[in-house]
Structure 1
Amino acid sequence: MQQYEKNHLDFVLNNAAECAVLLKSNGDFPIDKPGKLAAFGAGMRYTIKGGTGSGEVNSRFTYTIEEGLEQEGFEITSKSWLNQYDEVRAKAKKDFYKRVRKELKGNFLAIMGKTMREPEHNLTLSGEGDVAIYVLSRNSGEGSDREVVEGEVKLNNSEIRDILELNKRYQKFMLVLNVGGAVDLTPVMDVDNILLISQLGVNIGRVLADILVGKQNPSGKLTTTWAAWDQYSNEGTFGDWNETKYKEGIYVGYRYFDTFGKKALFPFGFGLSYTNFEVGETKVQAKASEIIVNTVVKNTGVCAGKEVVQVYLSKPTGKLDQPYQELVAFAKTNNLAAGEEQELQLTFDLQDVASYDEETASYILEVGDYLVRVGNSSVATKIAAVVSLDATVTCLKAKNCLGDPGFKDIKAPARNAEAVPAEAARLQILAAELQSQSVSYDSKYDIADQAKKMTDEELIYMGIGAFNPDAKMFSAVGNAGSHVAGAAGETTSQVKGVKPIIMADGPAGLRLCRTYFEDENGAHDASGKGSMPESVTDAMGPVVRFIANLVVGKTKVPKDAVIKEQSCTMIPIGTAIAQSFNYDLAKKFGDIVGTEMEMFGVHLWLAPALNIHRSILCGRNFEYYSEDPFVSGMMAAAITEGVQTHKGCGTTIKHYAANNAETNRYNNDSKVSERAMREIYLRGFGLCVRKTQPKAIMTSYNLLNGIHTAEHRGLIEDILRCEYGFKGIVMTDWILEMMADKNSINRIALSNEVAKAGGDLFMPGCKGDFNRMKAALEDGSLSREQLQINATRVLRMIDTLVG
């Protein structure tokens, strides 16, 4: 193992507890020291380091939780149960693969995201000692959504029985959740100690060991509401094949729970600690539209720990209905010793949280009282100030450009005026002092001389990912780079004097081939496994695996080849990073990725992903940060800032936008109102762009109100470039025609339409994409000028990243 690996793994190990959330605690933990431990559950030996699909990282090693605990000195006394469970698991896995291969019917990419449900069993619980844990695990991934069934979103009978029995039998018991998304814990809420360890990468077992003995104190907070399944909103649709109706509008996550009086098991922003904290005296000031909150946090417990202060805003209801509250600021303390206190200052601008009025196509702040709430979770706050605005203000005059979903969003029920404590500050803001802004949608672009001189064919190549124009059959699919083994794609090398931008998948680190060799044709995998995720290849039968190897271009390793390594660090999954509520920590995780990008010659990381946790059923939620757009945008900005401190390295924030399910993702039409899009699903992207200017943005597969996002000029030009001021390049997600559902009522996105909308790169690129653009150029439906504009942006990004 090289020194950079040790440094990066040590950093993750020593800081990952900030991403873990202590959901319940009765004081039994931490224990004094490692000792005998009766440990049960699938997660002990079948630990999920992170979800499946493009987010997988080919790590040098992976330690299970069992191995990690033993490395830290624990004696696992439940080997008999674990060994018997191995047999149950093996049979269930064999049956699962048999069923999946039958359903596959030759389309190997359809297997992505398929995960086995937890099998039922009747094993005898046995293990010495007074301390026990049960590690409940759930996996999910790209390509498939979760289901409300036992062994998936719900616990199965075996899990419920064993967890409750262990809770009664052992003096000290903890339920550990090795999951990437919420599960319905209703049947086991009698358990007194519950830890969401999440999915923290290869050293997750050692992190858990540190938490059990108090070497590290969990300080994470939930970024998604955990509840009984029947408490989640069913206003909209999820999982329908051709379209998804977002009828819930802006009432997503805690905005729905708080506003409609639904009960959560564990609310947004919630998380305990081994110690206790007090949020003390709070003072609030207003300077024009900027609100400044100063408060003091004191550790009133017996051990060191960190606390997160959260500021929520309740807006007045007027012309527009409003959620009960929304998060507007957060800050995390240092590691405070018992008795230590720290002053924190949190700021936000009222104009940044203005509401969108579709009638006037404007962001507005309505006249009335704005309640500033301060606390340590969404349900544990106090009103610290009332900010009164004397008249309605138009903050930004925009334009409606996202289409009509064909329905009206649900509205919030009327609510009574809330009693304001006497000690709350009373502040006045005058509308006349606030500045209104306007946007020019008349985009004018200069064209680089190099682009002006290019032939039509060269301009088309500039707008498509690298592919071999002479290739036959599957090898025409350019879903792997040639300059870096395992890279997801590159820009073209067909234009003389133009260097390629190398791209690698994410978002839990770089996904590259761990070993490779080089020849005159580039860099190639040397492992014999290719660059595809193991979750895909493991489930393939021999015939499908053969076809897959044709697609990814598996290369035979010559006997005299020099084998080289490029081991990449797996950082925690996106949801876990966000649970830290620590901007600086997220930035450091980005720095780790940026360091390895520099080492291995990767220019664009295809991450971070910041889609909203609209439903806990989305199979890809583990990659995403939160149900809240502010948290999502801030975490994406932090990761981007960390990566882009490295010369020649950039992020590609994704998936833009309204990509909140995996079901028929190529052809599904997201029906969303303009207000919901702007306030929920686009806000995080805008925040990240304005704060850190990521080098690239990737559009999503889905349609938005009848138009593919990748072909949507309103999304790409009007909102992203004109309103948000984005300066980078826009690329598609990896669009492969063979992956689309031929029976869907909606077609897939097309290269010529993407280029016409201002999309700079159609990825990964193939001869068919080239031919479509050429035909459109010849028939006049695609202009040479637009191709020159797109090529200019790509050329300038090459200058920035490659030199």
Structure 2
Amino acid sequence: MATRREIKSEAVARVDAERAARRERKAELEAMTPEDRKVAKAEDKQRAKDAEKAAKAERKERRSTMTRGERREDKRRERVYRKVSHRPRRAVGWGVTGVAVVAIGALAAPWVSDLTRLTSMEFDTETAEGVAARENAAVVSENVADEGIVLLKNEDAVLPLAEPRINVFSFESFNLRLGGGGSGGSNLSTAPTLYEAMDQVGVEYNSELYATMEDAGAESVSGSSNGFVQIVGSLVGGDESAEPEPDYLTDDVLAQAQEFSDTAMIVVGNDGVEGSDMTAEQLRLVDNQIALLDVVTEHFDDVVVVVNSGNQMELGFLDEYPQIKSALWIGTPGPQGAVSLAKVLNGDVNPSGHLTDTYAYDVTSAPSTETFGDFTYDNADRGFLNYNEGIYVGYRYYETRYVDDEAGYDAAVQYPFGHGLSYTDFTWDAADPVVTDEEISVDVDVTNDGDVAGKDVVQVYFSAPYTPGGIEKSAIELAGYAKTSMLEPGDSETVTVTFDTRDMASWDSENGGGYLLEAGDYVISVSNDVHDAVAEFTTEVGEDVRYDTDADTGESLENRFEYAEGDLTYLSRDDWEGTYPDADDMDFTASDEVLERMDPTIEPAEGEAPTTGADNGLMFADLEGLDYDDPAWDLFLDQLTLDEQIQIFSQGAYLTAEVERLGVPSAVLLDSPAGLNSLFSSIEAASYPTEIVIASTWNDDLAYAVGESVGTEANAYDVQGWYAPGMNLHRSAFGGRDFEYYSEDPVISGQMAAGMVNGAQDQGVLTFIKHFALNDQEVNARTGLNVFVDEQAFREVYLQPFEIAVKDSDPTGAMSSFINIGGSWAGGNEQLLQEVLRGEWGFDGVVSTDAVLGGWMDPALAVRNGNDLMLAPFAHTTIDATEEAYDEDPVGVGEGLRDRVHTALYAVLSTSATD
């Protein structure tokens, strides 16, 4: 089997040859007459199409005779080739858009005006309230990092350290990745380094080894980069680890280290940044890291590895070196993450985090990775993505694929979803579940039988009966969870996990939609993780139960996204091999129906346009305390001119439009889930662990504390809204913003989001749950991306976290995504925003777009179909487009504008902007 370096070298040589051929052909074309050149280009284009078609057929034929391992290596070669050949395209999106916009802004007055408006925001962060808010935030951040660290393995009880002395190897240790980059990042410039943190908590590190690494080039750098700069840097930068060859570790250096301590520690990790995704290579150790492991394990029998990544890495090396006794996952743990890590090392903190993703030995073994990446149509300037894996995302795949094959499971999965160890031992006594038609409740007595205090996590799962050829079902699904309080040795606590009986039902696409709880035996598992049950109970459902209406709103449930399914084969547990996704089977030609959804024809509405510019003597403050449907709102809305309505709708980015004559104030809306952040203005704000670490605490109270802390700080800075939390899923390990999202599982994602939303909104701050929906990949997202998914997977996996958050926290806002669902943009999608979000779920808040970066984010669609604010940093183009749409359809756009402005102003009225 070829090495990574050999495969990459082959790809580079192949791409170089192709580029040389293109340059040669370009010279030949330039030497032709214009008429001949035109004919030659047409012939070249046809030859290229024919060649690609032939190559595709040849690849398919070749792979049909290969073993699975040979097919995987062949596909790996193609992925590496595509990555190398498409590398220049990584700058498409934020990078090109940002550079182009800034360049144009320097020349054109409208662009300058828009940019000046955004950069004019100023924040007084040095008030007593602001200082106190940041001090409290530091405590909250440290509490989250304490509970979010996951103990992956701990043979021979190497941790906590028997003596607080340790050799720290690796250049990576000088710059822990405490957060992600982009709008989801935060200011980490004042965060202590790992070495400063160890000094702080009393863990002695080998200062001579530290000096040796410094002399070899290791250095700590500030984490204060602007989010926009981080995005652009990720798009055009490299992806290699900072680790050099370990030749600086001479025999003398290693002898001194052995004398200093018997224990060594190595940090490995990678960066996630908005705008670009990971590759499999980035989730594996590079050669220099492997060389470092070789050297360290040769000289030390007790080695600790710290995994510092917001994405699932391949960690098989933890099993390959017997000297690696302990491993800690710290994710991207925020400004106090280094302190929390140091406290875990010396035993001041007993780790109680659990993974929220499955860690497979091979990240490409997940079926979702087969169709993850850069795919664009031949007949349209847009990317597309097929979710052929259906519901089988994360553990839903591994637990189902290997349900009767424990050896196969052990070979595929290293650490299951929910895995996490402790420095103490717990025993559980689970009572029989109490089952009714409405809910299921499980009591579990948890006792600390060990020697140190600690917290434990009780996870409850269900397994539904499956009929081959019937509705697809995961072999097991998370139903709920609970975390204990701190239990001293010998102490016990009873925790209760409750969930709705209908949560075990499955979406029934074949019969028009709605949920079906099929008759049969259901297994309720009380578990340490998704794969290891402590107790199991069986409950019988005597007959099919159909749920055709929403449990909370009573609205009808039906298929609404059949058009998004496309002409695809979806993975089925009834035929794993025959339905397994294959990128070679993708159709790169958009159908006529898809092309029409990408550019829909809108018939003008009949009737009279709404009243504008009336004089009814009302000011905005007169609406204070009135219901949304109060008649006074109609009188007030009549007073707004058309221009004012278009400005309110179009200027929704970070600083909403003011209407001074009517007393309508601006509201300030800022990113990010890891702390208040502005891409355009300077703000000194607190930072928090990223959402993956928050979720890894499995502690809803800590999620609430984060939201509460952000809300308190927002009030101190006169900030009214928060673009958070991020709620998309870890469809694969490759997602560039996986650090910014909670999990591969919708239940823990929804519950954690609800906690954060409740915390912030209890402080009167608008929250925007995002990105609604299917924004699970960065590549092509900002240049238009059509996603195809079957409705069952859409409902049960990708929409469920949003549904949980809407119903458990009543968020005041939502942010629609860049994504085109089956070709129909989410921000102008009637089924998504009006029928499901506002209809089925009863959401009554304000909807904003994500940053308006492309023509597919059409304000004419948004205004008609329920998207209230356009997050357009350069709003004059959206204003122009909305004016044009109004001229073409004054009734339809006029009525839509009135509804959009009504919703947006109702939200603003609930904030401190009116104080």
TM range (shorter): 0.7 to 0.9
**Secondary structure in 1 aligned to 2:640?**
coil
The secondary structure found in structure 1 opposite 2:899 is helix
Higher helix share: 2
Whole-angstrom CA distance in 1 between matches of 2:313 and 2:297? 19
Task: Output the amino acid matched with 2:518.
Answer: E
2:520 is aligned, of 368, 371, 374, to: 368
Report the Cα distance in structure 1 between the residues aligned to 2:791 and 2:661, rounded to whole angstroms: 40
* 3-state SS of paired residue (1:342): strand
Match of 1:702 among 803, 819, 822: 819
* Closer/same/farther in 2, CA of residues 114 and 145 from structure 1, 3 Å limit: farther
Counterpart CA distance in 2 for 1:220 and 1:618 is: 22
- What are the within-5 Å matches in structure 2 for residues 450-489 of structure 1? 450-465=636-651, 488-489=654-655
Query: Structure 1 residues 716 and 296, CA, compared in 2 at 3 Å: closer, same or farther?
Result: same
CA contact (8 A) 1:307 1:376 kept: no
Q: Please say which structure displays the higher CA radius of gyration.
A: 2
User: Counterparts in 2 of 1:500-515, with a 5 A limit?
Assistant: 500-512=666-678
- AA aligned opposite 2:884: A
Tell me if structure 2 keeps the 8 A contact 1:489–1:764. Answer: no
Q: Which has the higher strand share?
A: 1
Shift of 1:597: 0.6
User: SS in structure 2 opposite 1:394?
Assistant: strand
TM-score for the superposition, normalised by structure 2:
0.71
8 Å CA contact 2:188–2:334 kept in 1: the answer is no
1:129-155 per-residue CA deviation (whole Å, 9 max, x = no partner) reads: 222211112111100001111xx2110
Taking the aligned partners of 2:872 and 2:418, their CA distance within structure 1 comes to: 38
**Could you tell me whether the CA contact under 8 Å between 1:181 and 1:622 is conserved in 2?**
yes
Alignment match of 1:356 (pick from 500, 507, 512): 507
TM-score of the superposed pair, with normalisation by structure 1 = 0.81
What residue number does 1:231 align with? 365
Contact 2:667 2:720 in 1 (8 A): yes
Shift of 1:583: 0.4
Distance of aligned partners of 1:171 and 1:235 in 2 relative to their CA distance in 1, 3 Å threshold: closer
Describe the SS at the equivalent of 1:448: helix
CA distance in 1, matches of 2:312, 2:689: 16
Q: Following the alignment from structure 1 to structure 2, what is the Cα–Cα distance between the partners of residues 586 and 607?
A: 12
What SS does structure 2 have at the residue aligned with 1:6?
helix
Query: How big is the shift at 1:388?
Result: 1.3
Task: Sort the Cα spacing of 1:113 and 1:568 in 2 relative to 1 into closer, same or farther, 3 A.
Answer: farther
Q: Secondary structure of the equivalent of 1:577?
A: helix
Structure 2 CA distance for aligned equivalents of residues 593 and 351 of structure 1: 34
In structure 1, C-alpha distance between the alignment counterparts of 2:471 and 2:505, rounded to whole Å:
11
Tell me, yes or no, if structure 1 residue 156 matches structure 2 residue 272: no
Q: What code does the residue aligned with 2:195 have?
A: E
Match of 1:315 among 464, 469, 489: 464
Aligned equivalent of 2:572: 411
Q: Residues 640-719 of structure 1: matches in 2 within 5 Å?
A: 640-647=757-764, 649-666=765-782, 667-719=784-836
Q: Which amino acid aligns with 1:510?
A: L
Please name the residue that 2:247 is paired with.
123
Q: Please give the alpha-carbon distance, in whole angstroms, between the structure 2 residues aligned to 1:256 and 1:329.
A: 19
Letter matched to residue 798 of structure 1? V
2:880 paired residue among 763, 771, 782: 771
Amino acid at match of 1:117: E
How far residue 171 of structure 1 moved from its aligned partner, in angstroms, is 4.8
Cα deviation, 1:524-574, whole Å, max 9, x if unaligned, reads: xxxxxxxx4xxxxxxxxxxxxxxxxxxx5x8xxxxxxxxxx9632211110
| One-letter code aligned to 1:589 | V
Q: Output one character per residue of 1:21-70: Cα deviation in whole Å (capped at 9) or x when no partner.
A: 00000211112453x32101233212111011011212461222122112
Deviations 1:484-534 (A, max 9, x none): xxxx4434457742111211111101115xxxxxxxxxxxxxxxxxxx4xx
CA change 1:6–1:453 in 2 (3 A) is closer
Structure 1 residue identity aligned to 2:768: T
Residue 149 (structure 2) aligned to one of 20, 39, 43: 20
Look up the SS of the partner of 1:654 in the other structure: strand
- Selected match of 1:497 from 663, 678, 695: 663
- CA distance 1:731–1:115, shift in 2 (3 Å): farther
2:893 is aligned with what amino acid? S
Distance apart, 1:688 and its partner CA: 0.2
Residue 284 of structure 1 deviates from its aligned partner by: 0.8
Cα separation, partners in 2 of 1:753 and 1:109, compared to 1, 3 Å: farther
Q: Which residue of 1 aligns with 2:347?
A: 214
1: distance between equivalents of 2:151 and 2:789?
35
- Aligned pairs (5 A) from 1:181-200: 181-189=311-319, 190=321, 191-200=324-333
- Letter of the aligned partner of 1:314 in structure 2? S
Instruction: Report what 2:279 is aligned to.
Output: 147
1:247 aligns with 2:392: no
* 2: CA distance, partners of 1:71 / 1:90: 19
Q: Which residue of 2 aligns with 1:7?
A: 136
2:697 is the counterpart of 1:580? yes
Whether the 8 Å CA contact 1:236–1:244 is kept in 2: the answer is no
**Whole-Å Cα distance in 2 between the matches of residues 15 and 775 of structure 1?**
49
2:560 counterpart residue number: 401
Distance 1:597 1:338 in 2: 40
Q: Is the 8 A contact 1:43 1:178 kept in 2?
A: no
Q: CA 1:177–1:86 in structure 2 vs 1: closer, same or farther (change >3 Å)?
A: farther
Q: 446, 454, 472: which is aligned to 1:305?
A: 454
Distance across 2 between alignment mates of 1:201 and 1:107: 17
**Aligned partner letter, 2:485:** N
Please give the alpha-carbon distance, in whole angstroms, between the structure 2 residues aligned to 1:799 and 1:783.
Answer: 24
CA contact (8 A) 2:170 2:267 kept: yes
- Asked whether the equivalents of residues 20 and 197 of structure 1 are also in contact (C-alpha less than 8 Å), the reply is yes
Change (3 A) 1:145 1:358: same
Distance 1:662 1:492, change over 3 A: farther
Name structure 1 gaps, 5 residues minimum.
98-103, 416-443, 467-478, 480-487, 513-531, 533-551, 555-564, 738-746
Q: 1:134 is matched with which residue: 266, 289, 305?
A: 266
Question: 1:470 maps to what in 2?
Answer: none
Partner of 1:260: 401
Alpha-carbon distance, 1:604 to partner: 0.9
In structure 2, the residue corresponding to 1:158 is in which secondary structure?
A: helix
Q: Residues 15, 631 of structure 1: CA spacing in aligned structure 2 closer, same or farther, 3 A cutoff? A: closer
Q: 1:611 to 1:85 in 2, by over 3 A?
A: farther
Name the aligned partner's letter for residue 871 of structure 2. Answer: M
DSSP-derived class of the 2:750 partner? helix
Number of residues of Structure 1 aligned to a counterpart in Structure 2: 683
Which of 709, 734, 743 aligns to 1:617? It is: 734
Query: Which residue of structure 2 lines up, in the alignment, with residue 418 of structure 1?
Result: none
Work out whether 1:759 is the aligned partner of 2:851: no
- Between the aligned residues of both structures, percent identity stands at 30
Change (3 A) 1:322 1:82: farther
Displacement of 1:234 in angstroms is 4.8
C-alpha separation in 2, matches of 1:176 and 1:612: 24
CA contact (8 A) 1:143 1:619 kept: yes
Whether the 8 Å CA contact 2:230–2:273 is kept in 1: the answer is no
Instruction: State the alpha-carbon separation in 2 of the partners of residues 173 and 450 from structure 1.
Output: 69
Q: 2:168 aligns with which of 27, 39, 44?
A: 39
Residue 405 of structure 1 deviates from its aligned partner by 2.4
Distance 1:748 1:575 in 2: 31
Q: Does structure 1 residue 287 correspond to structure 2 residue 436? A: yes
User: AA paired with 1:498?
Assistant: V
Question: Which runs of 5 or more structure 2 residues have no equivalent in the other structure?
Answer: 1-125, 376-382, 403-408, 549-555, 577-627
Q: Could you give the per-residue CA deviations for residues 568-601 of structure 1, whole angstroms, max 9, x where no partner exists?
A: 2211110000000000111111111111011001
The 1-side partners of 2:427 and 2:730 are apart by: 30
1:691 maps to amino acid: D
2: CA distance between counterparts of 1:768 and 1:715? 25
